[in-house]
Amino acid sequence: MLNRLMGARIVMGAMIAITVALAWSSFVFAQNGQQGRQKAKAPAASNQPFDAHDLSGFWDITNIGRQPGALNETSNNRPPMTPWGLEKFHKAKTGYDGKALSNGVFPNEKDWNDPILWCDPTGFPRIMWHPTPPGMRFAQTGEELIQFFENNRVWRDIWTDGRKLPGDDAESRWYGYSVGHWDGDTFVVNSNNFNDATWLDQYGSPHSDEMTVEERYRRVDHDHLEMILNITDPKAYVGTWKGDKKIFQWVEKPARSQYADLREDICAWSEVKSFFDRMEFNGKGGLQIHP
């Protein structure tokens, strides 16, 4: 622990430079009107001590430092799709104008088929950036890092006890199966065994059950956590979908809860169906939404 704290002081020493860099990139970002809940701005410098190997706490994703026009996605640099991926993508219909990643905007809501409209699990990695704001909490134990999400009150077990990823005959899951390890001060997460029922974003980017995901987290100061997420899916994409650096902001008390915790942001079909019925989604005469 002592060594870690000494290391932390060194990291803190670089904090001012990082803050300046973030401030500049945030400025650039702000000039280009990015989608997202939080506008980019320079994070306040944190002088609190921290342990680079402790990711515990509540974290909110931000747009700090993201490229101009960056969408709610691991990055805009989606690799070309395979014929299998393209066929699946062209079936995705939404009302979002995804620009760089869009499959077109479908103005008639009767066409929309985003699975979360009818409360299918958001799945991973989409839950990291949509629906916004994706409140998130890390809790660490001796054998795993647990990642809790406000969205639908779900969690991921990221095992750190040395176990290996399962083989391809294992059960597929909405949130996959994950193991993690420390590479210096970077926490590396590898995941597989996803089912292919979720979208990777609200624009309909597809994936298969062969998808693997790598996440790299690094706590740069007490208040900020960097994350890069790379997606590899040879059945759907030609090459790895490399992610942009995301910055998470440490949150002492989540603003979206009256209890200083992650609130129950649960998609309950009875509530959602009532909403669609009342707003006459698809017009008068009853709900015709999928499935």
Partner 1 sequence: MTRKLVVRFFVITLGALTICTPIFAHHGTAGVYDYTHRITTKATVTEYIWANPHVQIYFKLKNDKGEEQTWGVETVSPGNALANGWTKKSFKPGDELLVSFVPAKNDRTFGTCIQFVFVADGKRLGGSGRCGMGAEAVDSNTLPIKPGYTAVEVQMPKDTRVRPESEQEQ
Interface with partner 1 (CB under 8 A)? 33-39, 41, 72, 94-97, 105-109, 112, 114, 117, 131-133, 135, 150, 202, 255-258, 263, 265-268, 271-272, 274-275, 278-280, 283-284
Q: Tokens 């991921």 identify what position?
A: 156
Q: Judged by CB, which is closer to partner 1: 18, or 71?
A: 71
Query: Nearest distance from residue 38's CB to partner 1, in Å?
Result: 6
E strand or H helix at 257: none
Phi, psi of 148 (to 5 degrees): -100, 145
Q: Judged by CB, which is closer to partner 1: 75, or 192?
A: 75
Query: Nearest distance from residue 191's CB to partner 1, in Å?
Result: 26
Q: Judged by CB, which is closer to partner 1: 182, or 275?
A: 275
Query: Nearest distance from residue 259's CB to partner 1, in Å?
Result: 10
Query: Nearest distance from residue 254's CB to partner 1, in Å?
Result: 9
Query: Nearest distance from residue 267's CB to partner 1, in Å?
Result: 6
Q: Judged by CB, which is closer to partner 1: 56, or 108?
A: 108
Q: Judged by CB, which is closer to partner 1: 64, or 158?
A: 64
Hey, which residues does 156 pair with through a beta bridge? 147
37, two tokens: 């809940």
Query: Residue 21, SS3?
Result: helix
| DSSP state, residue 224 | E
Q: Judged by CB, which is closer to partner 1: 97, or 168?
A: 97
* Separation CA 263–CA 129 (nearest Å): 17
> For the CA atoms of 151, 155, 156, 158, what is the dihedral angle to 10 degrees?
130
Query: Nearest distance from residue 135's CB to partner 1, in Å?
Result: 8
* Separation CA 229–CA 244 (nearest Å): 7
Proportion of the chain in helix, strand, coil states, percent, rounded to 5: 20, 25, 55
Query: Nearest distance from residue 281's CB to partner 1, in Å?
Result: 8
Q: Judged by CB, which is closer to partner 1: 63, or 160?
A: 63
19, two tokens: 């803050």
Q: Is 141 exposed, middle or buried (0-12, 13-18, 19+ CB in 10 A)?
A: exposed
60, two tokens: 């909110």
Tell me the one-letter amino acid at 42.
Answer: A
How far is the first Cα of the chain from the last one, in angstroms, to the nearest whole number?
A: 52
Q: Judged by CB, which is closer to partner 1: 72, or 232?
A: 72
* Separation CA 182–CA 254 (nearest Å): 27
Residues 103-119: b if buried by 16+ CB within 10 A, e if exposed: beeeeebeebbbbbbbb
Query: Nearest distance from residue 31's CB to partner 1, in Å?
Result: 10
